[in-house]
Every structure is written in C-alpha cells, then in structure tokens.
Structure 1
C-alpha cells in the first residue's frame, strides 16, 4: 500500500470524532476486496437516487473523502465511516479507495461509526434506534452511566435524553411493526408503547392489522399495553380496541295514527311510503 497526497482527498473531522490521538491522517489506497462492513452496521446503503448521484460524482471526481477504517489483521479492514462511498466506488468500477487507518477497540469503533453516520440526512427511525442502542452499550462498557450516555448521545444528534430512550425502545419491535414506524404508518410513540409487548403479543397486533387494515392509535396502544401489564391481553381485545365500538343503527318507528292523518284515506301503505321518501329526499337536498 502506498501513501497518497491529501491535495485532492478531503478529510472529515476524524480527529474530532475520535477525540484526537497520536496517529496521523496519512491516506493510503486499499483494495475494495479487503474492506468489510462494520459488524451489525445499523445504517442502510440503498441503491436510490442519492446513491446514483454519488456514483456519478465518484466517476467524475473519484473519492473526495477518505474512508475511516480499522485493521482486522492479515491486510483486512473494517469500515468505520464510508459504507456508502465504498458501495459507490464498487458501482463506479473502482478497484481501490483512499482510507485512513486507525487502531481502535470495539467500543471506540462503535462510537465513531455511530457518530459519523448520524451526520447523514433522512435517517430512518430504525437506523437511529439501533445506532443509539449500540452507542449506549459501548459507552456503558466504557464506564459511562446510562443517563449520562443518553444525554451525550442526544446532544450529538439534537435529541433529548428521553427521546434517545424512546428510539432505543423501538429495537424491541418485531420487523413488521418496526417497518411500519419507518414508513410513518405507525407513529414513534405508538411504536414505543407496542415495544413493551412480547413478540407473540406484537404478532397479535400485526394479525389484526392484516385483517382490518388498521394499526392502533396512541390511545389504543396505551390501552393494549395496559392489558398486557394486567395479563388480560388477547387478540380479540386487540381487535376490539383497534376497530372501536360499532356504531349503533338508528331506528325510527312511527305509529300509523301519527302518519295517516297527513294522507288521504285512499292512500295505502306503499303510497304513503313513496311520498315520505320523496319528501325526505327533497329535505336532504335542501339541507346538505
């Protein structure tokens, strides 16, 4: 591997990201086949319009921001920051990309990976949820208490500590419900309430959705959770809470002597019904 001038390659704020260090930002070229995704990487790399634009940029300008990686041994590297750039380089037909190599332990690598990716626009709730959980666990391993961790994580991403905990709760949702949160079919807070259900109980919610086309509202989700805590939750209760009470049919009964006084004696029941219907139709047209 040869060093490369930084005249063209831009450096992201990796020193700030990692809290500084003695190692230098020497850029080296590494073959794509020796770069591996971060284990349990929570951020999606999609072949969407933004990726297509990035590929075109790579074809024209190359990789302008070096990837951050850490050595795995035997010439292999794990990507800390740059999964989208690596994918764009593959699609653009490049064989190697510029990288900055840093030695990091697992927890430090997790924190750097999360912080670098939280700078992305349009992050899905599920991506943020698993990223927050990974960083929280890493910080706890390093001796930081949960409350301080949540505050620190939230500060870096403009979320309150309470919001950080809400996102982390989403990691306890089954995939169908979590995907519904990502699609904004289920609100974040509804997802949080449902995350307290067991997987079989969450499956009840999804089965009710499949049969009714409805997910619970926040108020309904709170009642479902309450039934769960009281150990009274059943699929039928979920269904009744989601669909709500059926509207009662409106029935009006008129006695014959109340009606016949308005009609000639020769009018039979059918004629009376026809006239009443015509009058109601006229009234409806005038008042709606």
Structure 2
C-alpha cells in the first residue's frame, strides 16, 4: 500500500502574529520540565481525536526505544495543574508505557492564545478528519476574535496588551483574519461590539465581500472552504460522523447544517432507506426549510426520488395502503413486501382453483 501523503497545513504562529523578530529571538529560551502525567489535563473540547491505532503503536515503540525526543507543550493553570496544548498523542503513548512523567515546555499564555497554538500544532498531523478541521477552524477563529476584542478594550483604556504595544498586534491580527478567514474590514472592525457578539459566524458566501474567495498560502484552504468546514460544526454528531466516514459529501453536508431541528429526521431517513442526499437534494431541503415548508412528507419525496444510478421504485400513498404495512418497514422495502404478498396471494388463488376443479 502506498504511503499516505502528509497533509502540510501551517498557520502563522502566535509569535508571527503578535511579536517582533527581536521578541521572537528572546522567546527561544524554553523552559523544559519533567511533569507528572497525573498533573496534566487535556485541552478542553480538544477537536482532534487520539486513537489507539497503528500510528499510536509506532509512537509507543519510538518512545520506548529513544525516549520522548520532542517535549509536549503545556500551560500552567490557576489551580496549579497543567493544560496540554500540543502533545495529546505523546501523553497517551507515555500512559500506555506506564511512565510517571514526561518532558514538557511550560508556557505562560492566555486561554485564547493557547487555543490558537493548539490548533496550529495539531494541523501538522498526517491525517485530519473533516470534523477535526471543522472544530479546529471554529475554535481558532473564536479565539482570534476574543484576542482582538481584548486588544481593543486595552487600546481604549490606553494600556498595552501582554506587555507590548497594542497597535502592531492589532494590525497583524486584522491582516490574518482578512487573509485566512476572508473577513471584510467592516467585520473586523465590528469584533467586540454587541452586533458581533450576537452573530459570531463568519457570514454567508456572497458577492458583497463578507467572505471573499481568498486562497490561503499557509493553510491550503480558501476562506470559502474554511467557512464550509465551520458550518459542519452545526451538524448533529451522527451526521457529522457520516461525513467523517465518507458517507455524506462535504457540499450536501454543509446545506444539511442549516436544517436545524430537521437534521434528526434526515438522519433517520438515511438509516431507514439506506440512501443519502446529494448536493442538489440538500439544497432543495434547505430552501424548503428556510421557507417553513420542509415537512416529513417533503423530506421523503426528496430522499426517495429516483437518482440516475437507481432503479425506479414504487411509492404507495394513502392511508388505505399505508396502514397495511408493518410500522417498522422502510419505505424502500415496501415493493418487496408487496411482491411477496402478491406471490402469496397468487398461490392462494391457484390452490382455490384446484379445489374447485375436484
């Protein structure tokens, strides 16, 4: 089997966003400590899955043979414990090896800065699921907005931010939000206002420039694609898992994210009928939902319509027929049920005819 190509996705680091070259040189003096595993907590809502798979087996064997070469990165919390930023897989490998401690670089950074760094470091992984990307992008965007909001508050009060002048940091952060996430200048200026807090989404893709089609050199995803990934966070877990498994494509999944309380009905129909909506069908569902017209019957009509690669199927309507089927019988199985019933009835008629001839 060919070796899987490594997905190179790099965000500019916090240093590149908020510090000068001189400050970055000074920051190279790392503080490395041996920290007990029992004192390290996982990052809250960590979007990346840690699996006990073949890659984990390789990591365990590497640490067993050579020790932990690259220290994990943590930050010290107010309660004296440590929060993992980068190194969740290494922590799991050390646990599997029954190690008591692991080497960690301890940083003194805020929660929002830690969130950005956590996303950046984990985007270097060889395989990233759509759900992982979705929540990572959203967490990073939310953290960036919070940082910009806090910077503006400090600027209004004539204070520095993190011991550094606010102006250059704000300029770098605004440039990043425009380039990576396609936010317009007006949207960036609105961060921290009441209207921004009420609508914390990236905004719809459209001709007005709210989300411009700007290709990001660092992350490899355009701002449009980043917006699509963030929309996936609005899916119910069951549908999002189907996206990870490749059962639902990205584009229809994005449209399904707008269905809100009808998502569970879509999921149940997928299981019951063993079919998934394509992009065109999902778009029609979204339009009907936004118009307040997406009933269960409308969902069934769209989901059960014939696709080019499907055979024609028979759909029975009306209470007279519907009440004769078992309640748990999928709509797609009704044709088989009717065919079996007709065969049974035909045999009954044949037996009746033979009896009359005697």
One fold, TM greater than 0.5? yes
TM-aligned CA distance change 1:147 to 1:201, over 3 Å: farther
Which blocks of at least 5 consecutive residues in structure 2 are unaligned?
1-11, 16-23, 149-172, 183-213, 315-358
Q: Distance in 2 between matches of 1:162 and 1:75?
A: 41
The Cα shift of 1:153 comes to: 10
Aligned equivalent of 1:170, options 232, 237, 243: 232
CA RMSD, 1 decimal: 2.1
Which blocks of at least 5 consecutive residues in structure 1 are unaligned?
1-15, 250-288
Which residue number in structure 1 is paired with residue 75 of structure 2? Answer: 70
Aligned equivalent of 1:203, options 251, 259, 264: 264
Preserved CA contact (<8 Å) 2:180 2:222: no
Which residue number in structure 2 is paired with residue 262 of structure 1? Answer: none
The Cα shift of 1:147 comes to: 4.2
TM-aligned CA distance change 1:213 to 1:124, over 3 Å: same
Q: How does 1:68-147 map to 2 (within 5 A)?
A: 68-143=73-148, 144=173, 147=178
Q: How does 1:117-266 map to 2 (within 5 A)?
A: 117-143=122-148, 144=173, 147-151=178-182, 154-198=216-260, 200-245=261-306, 247=312
The Cα shift of 1:89 comes to: 0.6
Q: Distance in 2 between matches of 1:134 and 1:21?
A: 28
* Secondary structure, counterpart of 1:46 in structure 2: coil
The Cα shift of 1:28 comes to: 1.2
Which residue number in structure 2 is paired with residue 43 of structure 1? Answer: 48
The Cα shift of 1:156 comes to: 3.0
Relative contact order (alpha carbons < 8 A, sep ≥ 6): 1 or 2 greater? 2
Which residue number in structure 1 is paired with residue 327 of structure 2? Answer: none
Aligned residue pairs, count? 233
1:105-125 CA-to-partner distances (Å, cap 9, x unmatched) read: 111111100000011111000
1:122-160 CA-to-partner distances (Å, cap 9, x unmatched) read: 100000000000000111112256544515995432111
TM-score by length of 2: 0.62
Q: Distance in 2 between matches of 1:167 and 1:237?
A: 27
Q: Greater Rg, structure 1 or structure 2? A: 1
Which residue number in structure 2 is paired with residue 18 of structure 1? Answer: 14
Q: Distance in 2 between matches of 1:59 and 1:207?
A: 46
TM-score by length of 1: 0.76
Which residue number in structure 1 is paired with residue 59 of structure 2? Answer: 54
The Cα shift of 1:204 comes to: 1.1
Q: Distance in 1 between matches of 2:138 and 2:217?
A: 15
Which residue number in structure 2 is paired with residue 282 of structure 1? Answer: none
TM-aligned CA distance change 1:108 to 1:155, over 3 Å: farther
1:163-211 CA-to-partner distances (Å, cap 9, x unmatched) read: 100000000000110000000100011110000111x200110111121
